[in-house]
């Protein structure tokens, strides 16, 4: 399925990575994912709900996370997402490529 | 696993849309509630907290839809839309749909059917254990192969050789009268050596194989019956082994039943040990129609086995110079032996059906290309309305796929029907044809080819269409490029024409051959002639003679009967091929004796068969056992051996010394014996008088006697009356092979008719496909150039010019195709030389007329769209977008 907009691809990939990163610290429900991303980024990043759920479902289909209904610490029923082994691998891949990108950008900036 | 998850999710979404939506709703609700809770902890009132949470969440509905699409529902729903839309589009253009579906159906169906047959007959290994080790052995004399082995020679080298694990003699075409039951029946029999079934690695369904003690003269007669016979006459009785059955008035003990579907050469109801009748085959110099099948030892090649066997044969030559001079053995693989005759016609059919598939694919491709370009505007409108590229491609692919699936379903039906039709049309006796059924792997292959073609050529224009520059396409309208700028389409048309021409030439040559064969004068008159066979089991010569005399006498009195006769040997049937000598000439060397086809016939034979007398007289009622022996020869024998001499009054004998000699009293027309296709050298033929067979030898000569009746009415209408006459003489007498001579003639040319018919059908299909292709291409080109044509006419071009313009363009392609096709045909028809009769593989008449035919068809296919172009109203055309 070719996406006509490469920019969207990039953004999507970034969001996926953020979600995977958030879940790498432990299983969470959707609301928790948003909160955790905000905390991890020192309140600099806010993920919109409208973007979060399609992204969660997408990476669930890709097999990077698994979802299960359960209860949170206060006894509320919620759907929890948990990073799978494939998800951990994917996260490493994406982090590496981000590191590489950062390195390249840094080098370019030094060159000027 | 990813695709699997996706698939499961999509199927779940499609099946349980509500379940999925509920799941999403609940999750989103939880989310909002959690946020509200958090808001309350920050000190908001419950109402405020809830509202704020909902506000910050945004449009629940649209998020839900977005999420739903990701979870699979979206794709399935648009797929459904695509399907409905495609269905509507196909129905809206019934002509296009019909042609495309028909093309695919023919391509898939015909290919699968033919290939299934070829696979069953030629390619699939024989159902015996390690069939590659099996060989057939036969003898040749002075290098001339006679396809048979003398039994004493077989027995000798069976004992002496070191190269075969085991060998077995096989003699087909034995016939037995099955009596002692309510309904006597004529059975087909086969003689084999002990261990025949073990040699093939075939285990009898019941009972056992023959053992050596049963395979010698004087043994207790044993028989293995076929599965079919067992089912038909014994109702699958498990206790049949050990029972006695009566065959030719002799009791045989059933020792086994063959497994279902077992086949080895000609069908046989009963199989007996050959050694039991070794007495019949004791003449070493004879050619008794015995074949030998052998299993090579491991690591022994066919070549080694042949060399080694021939070492034994040279010993036999020294030992028995009378019979074995220049007699050698030759080996062929079992496969070659059984399918050698049908291999070439089937391969040619396979080749032609492959060409038809190519043409069909070219046509589908062409149709889809044409369609795609006429839909450029539709596509641009859809793009303008916001359809994305993927969606359009998917839409077009769905359409192609839908066509392919409909074509495939119909193609499978055609393949199923076609396989049994072709199998029923093939000449009898082709091995393993009963195993022919639609071959699944072949079906999958042809389906694949057709569907991939459809998709490929559906996809190319789809990509093109979706990439098109919107504004330009809308502005431009349909005035796209002219046909001349479509190299792919032009190539497809040229290719189609060339392939079609090749097929037509092949079919044309076969049709010519068939016509020539029909024109051959067989030397007798096959019309209104009925033949039937009897095998008389009676050891009293006088009774046998009386039986035939009375039968002829009674039949002659029947209304509608013009003449009747009795014969041993019949044109297009089984005959004897003995050596003979002309008295008063030096005795020829061993192996160089004269030989001829011998017919032993009653006096009425020539009259009944319609064989013309050239000189002298035919047999009469005055020739009896008490008068001098007489013979009649055919013109071929007269020409070859008497040249300028007058043969009348000369004498011939059948063996060297002391045997009776026959005075030649007449010369008759030569008859075609093996088939109607003649031979470069016509074999000699001679006739002896049935009424002069010594009375003591008569009972051994009437195993296979033809009763012939020339009628003045439709011959088959007399069959009941004739049977009645036989039953009146002997109620136990089985009658078989009741056929008209016309049927026999038709059957002798059935293989030729078959290949001609199939290739003809393919050629016609190809021609139809090619004209559709040319027509489609030209219609498209005309539609594309409507504006240009209008402009030309405004500038003063006459409709004649326009006609020439359009036709010229189409014919240029067609003629290039014709030229290429002629070259290809010259190369390909060589391979079918052996299938041709009376016509050369490069017959100029066929080549020229086919090329003209194709040119005319192409012209017609261009003419219709050209006329349309010529009638264009310039004003309308210029306004035309």
Best residue in A34, A55, A61, A66 to probe B by mutation, most B CBs within 10 Å?
Answer: A61
Interface list for A 30-69 with B (CB within 8 A): 30-31, 48-50, 53-54, 57-58, 60-63
**Cβ atoms within 10 Å of B486's Cβ, excluding its own:** 21
Looking up tokens 């996406």, which residue turns up?
A3
Check if B659 contacts A (Cβ < 8 Å).
Answer: no
pLDDT of residue B484: 40
The answer to whether B155 and B215 have CB atoms below 8 angstroms apart is no
Domain boundaries, chain A: 8-111
pLDDT at res. B86: 78
Give the closest of A57, A76, A77 to B67, CB-based.
A57
Q: Does B5 touch chain A (CB under 8 A)?
A: yes
The pLDDT value given to residue B377: 66
Nearest chain A Cα distance for residue B28, angstroms: 8
| B34 contacts A79? CB cut-off 8 A | no
Tell if the CB–CB gap between B5 and A63 is shorter than 8 Å: yes
B646 lies within 8 A of chain A by CB: no
Q: Search chain A and give the residue with CA nearest B23.
A: A79
CB pairs under 8 A between A and B: 66
Please, how many CA atoms are within 13 Å of residue B253, restricted to the half-sphere of its CB?
11
Q: What is the DSSP letter of B712?
A: S
> In terms of pLDDT, which residue wins out, A19 or B323?
A19
Contacts of A58 in chain B (CB under 8 A): 70
Dihedral in degrees, nearest 10, Cα atoms B88, B90, B93, B96: 180
Q: Could you tell me the pTM of the whole model?
A: 0.59
The closest CB to that of A53, out of B6, B28, B33, belongs to B28
Check whether domain A8-111 has CATH 1.10.10.10, yes or no: yes
Pairing label, strands B222-225, B250-257: parallel
The pLDDT value recorded for residue B478 is 43
Residue B77, pLDDT score: 62
CB contact under 8 A, A58 and B1: no
With a CB-CB cutoff of 8 Å, which residues 379-398 of chain B face chain A? 388-390
Least Cα separation, residue B370 to chain A (angstroms)? 26
**From B55, which residue of chain A is nearest by alpha-carbon distance?**
A49
Q: Do A30 and B58 touch (CB under 8 A)?
A: no
Rounded to whole angstroms, the Cα distance separating A18 from A9 reads 14
A-chain residues near B389 (CB < 8 A)? 2, 4
Nearest by CB to A54, from B26, B59, B66: name it: B66
Residues of B numbered 41-60 whose beta carbons fall under 8 angstroms of chain A's beta carbons: which are they? 56-59
- Among chain A residues, CA nearest to B10: A61
User: At a CB cut-off of 8 Å and minimum separation 6, what does B561 contact?
Assistant: B555, B709, B710, B711, B712, B718
| HSE of A39, CA atoms in CB hemisphere, 13 A | 9
Give pLDDT, residue B69.
Answer: 65
Residue A6 has pLDDT above 90, yes or no: no
Q: Choosing among B41, B58, B67, which should be mutated to test the A contact, i.e. which has the most A CBs within 10 A? A: B67
Backbone angles phi, psi at A101, to 5 degrees: -60, -45
pLDDT mean by block of 10 residues, chain B; 881 residues: 66 64 83 85 86 79 70 61 77 78 80 78 75 87 74 89 91 81 80 92 92 90 92 87 89 92 83 88 75 90 90 89 82 78 73 80 76 68 63 77 84 85 66 63 75 71 57 47 57 85 87 84 90 83 91 91 91 77 81 81 94 93 92 92 89 76 94 73 89 87 85 88 86 79 83 77 79 76 74 79 83 90 87 80 89 89 81 68 47
Selecting from B5, B6, B58 the residue whose C-beta is nearest the C-beta of A49 gives B58
CA distance B758 to B349: 7
pLDDT of residue B566: 94
- Name every residue whose Cβ is closer than 8 Å to that of residue B287 and which is 6 or more positions away in sequence: B139, B146, B148, B150, B577
Burial class (CB in 10 A: 0-12, 13-18, 19+), B6: middle
């Amino acid at each position: 399925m070719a996406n006509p907009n490469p920019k969207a691809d990039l953004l999507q990939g970034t969001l996926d990575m953020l979600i995977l990163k958030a879940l790498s610290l432990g299983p969470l429900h959707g609301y928790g994912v948003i909160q955790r991303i905000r905390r991890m980024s020192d309140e600099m990043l806010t993920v919109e709900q409208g973007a979060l759920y399609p992204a969660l479902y997408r990476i669930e289909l890709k097999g990077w996370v698994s979802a299960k209904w359960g209860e949170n610490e206060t006894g509320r029923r919620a759907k929890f997402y948990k990073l799978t082994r494939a998800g951990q691998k994917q996260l490493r891949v994406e982090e590496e490529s981000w590191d590489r990108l950062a390195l390249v950008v840094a080098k370019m900036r030094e060159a000027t | 696993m990813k695709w699997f998850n996706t698939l499961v999710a999509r199927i779940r979404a499609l099946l349980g849309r509500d379940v999925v939506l509920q799941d999403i709703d609940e999750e989103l609700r939880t989310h909002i509630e959690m946020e509200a809770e958090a808001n309350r902890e920050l000190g908001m009132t419950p109402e405020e907290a809830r509202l704020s949470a909902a506000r910050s969440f945004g449009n629940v509905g649209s998020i839900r839809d977005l999420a739903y699409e990701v979870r699979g529902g979206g794709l399935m729903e648009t797929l459904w839309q695509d399907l409905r839309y495609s269905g509507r589009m196909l129905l809206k253009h019934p002509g296009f749909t019909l042609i495309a579906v028909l093309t695919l159906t023919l391509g898939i169906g015909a290919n699968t059917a033919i290939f299934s047959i070829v696979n069953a007959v030629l390619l699939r290994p024989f159902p015996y254990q390690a069939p590659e080790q099996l060989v057939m052995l036969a003898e040749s004399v002075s290098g001339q192969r006679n396809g048979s082995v003398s039994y004493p020679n077989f027995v000798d080298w069976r004992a002496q050789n070191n190269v075969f694990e085991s060998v077995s003699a096989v003699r087909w075409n034995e016939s037995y009268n099955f009596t002692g039951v309510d309904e006597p029946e004529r059975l087909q029999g086969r003689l084999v050596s002990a261990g025949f079934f073990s040699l093939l690695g075939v285990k009898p369904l019941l009972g056992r194989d023959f053992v050596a003690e049963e395979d010698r003269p004087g043994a207790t007669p044993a028989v293995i019956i076929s599965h079919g016979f067992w089912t038909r006459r014994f109702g699958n009785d498990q206790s049949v082994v050990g029972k006695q059955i009566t065959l030719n008035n002799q009791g045989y003990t059933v020792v086994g039943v063959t497994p279902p579907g077992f086949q080895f050469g000609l069908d046989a109801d009963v199989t007996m040990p050959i050694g039991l009748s070794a007495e019949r085959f004791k003449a070493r110099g004879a050619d008794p129609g015995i074949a030998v099948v052998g299993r090579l030892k491991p690591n022994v090649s066919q070549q080694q086995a042949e060399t080694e066997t021939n070492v034994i044969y040279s010993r036999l030559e020294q030992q028995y110079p009378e019979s074995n001079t220049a007699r050698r053995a030759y080996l062929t693989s079992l496969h070659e032996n059984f399918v050698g005759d049908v291999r070439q016609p089937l391969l040619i059919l396979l080749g032609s059906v492959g060409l038809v598939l190519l043409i069909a694919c070219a046509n589908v491709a062409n149709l889809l290309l044409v369609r795609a370009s006429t839909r450029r505007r539709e596509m641009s409108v859809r793009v303008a309305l916001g359809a994305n590229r993927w969606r359009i491609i998917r839409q077009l692919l769905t359409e192609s796929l839908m066509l392919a699936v409909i074509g495939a379903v119909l193609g499978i039906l055609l393949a199923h029907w076609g396989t049994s039709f072709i199998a029923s049309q093939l000449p009898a006796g082709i091995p393993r044809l009963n195993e022919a059924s639609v071959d699944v792997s072949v079906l999958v292959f042809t389906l694949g080819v057709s569907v991939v073609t459809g998709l490929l050529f559906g996809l190319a224009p789809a990509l093109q269409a979706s990439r098109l520059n919107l504004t330009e396409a809308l502005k431009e309208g349909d005035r796209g490029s002219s046909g001349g700028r479509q190299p792919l389409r032009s190539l497809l048309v040229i290719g189609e024409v060339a392939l079609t021409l090749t097929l037509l030439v092949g079919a044309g040559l076969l049709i010519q051959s068939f016509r020539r064969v029909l024109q051959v004068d067989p030397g007798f008159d096959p019309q209104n002639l009925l033949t039937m066979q009897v095998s008389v089991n009676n050891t009293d010569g006088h009774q046998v003679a009386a039986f035939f005399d009375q039968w002829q006498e009674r039949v002659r009195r029947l209304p509608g009967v013009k003449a009747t006769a009795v014969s041993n040997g019949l044109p297009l049937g089984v005959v004897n091929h003995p050596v003979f000598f002309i008295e008063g000439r030096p005795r020829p060397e061993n192996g160089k004796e004269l030989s001829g086809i011998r017919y032993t016939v009653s006096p009425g034979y020539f009259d009944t068969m319609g064989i013309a007398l050239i000189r002298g007289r035919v047999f009469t009622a005055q020739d009896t056992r008490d008068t001098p022996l007489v013979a009649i020869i055919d013109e071929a024998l007269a020409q070859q051996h008497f040249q300028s001499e007058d043969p009348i009054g000369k004498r011939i004998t059948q063996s060297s010394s002391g045997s009776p000699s026959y005075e030649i009293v007449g010369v008759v027309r030569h008859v075609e014996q093996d088939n109607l296709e003649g031979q470069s050298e016509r074999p000699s033929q001679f006739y002896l008088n049935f009424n002069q067979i010594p009375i003591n030898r008569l009972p051994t000569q009437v195993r296979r006697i033809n009763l012939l009746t020339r009628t003045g009415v439709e011959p088959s209408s007399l069959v009941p009356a004739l049977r009645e006459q036989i039953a009146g003489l002997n109620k136990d007498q089985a009658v078989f092979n009741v056929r008209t001579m016309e049927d026999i003639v038709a059957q002798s040319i059935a293989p030729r008719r078959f290949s001609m018919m199939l290739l003809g059908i393919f050629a016609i299909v190809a021609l139809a496909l090619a004209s559709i292709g040319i027509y489609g291409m030209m219609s498209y080109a005309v539609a594309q150039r409507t504006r240009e044509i209008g402009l030309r006419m405004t500038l003063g071009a006459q409709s004649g010019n326009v006609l020439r313009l359009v036709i010229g363009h189409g014919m240029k392609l067609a003629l290039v195709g014709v030229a290429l096709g002629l070259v290809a045909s010259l190369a390909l028809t060589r391979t079918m030389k052996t299938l041709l009769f009376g016509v050369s593989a490069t017959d100029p008449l066929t080549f020229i007329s086919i090329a003209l035919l194709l040119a005319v068809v192409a012209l017609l296919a261009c003419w219709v769209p050209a006329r349309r172009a010529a009638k264009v109203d310039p004003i309308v055309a210029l306004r035309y977008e």
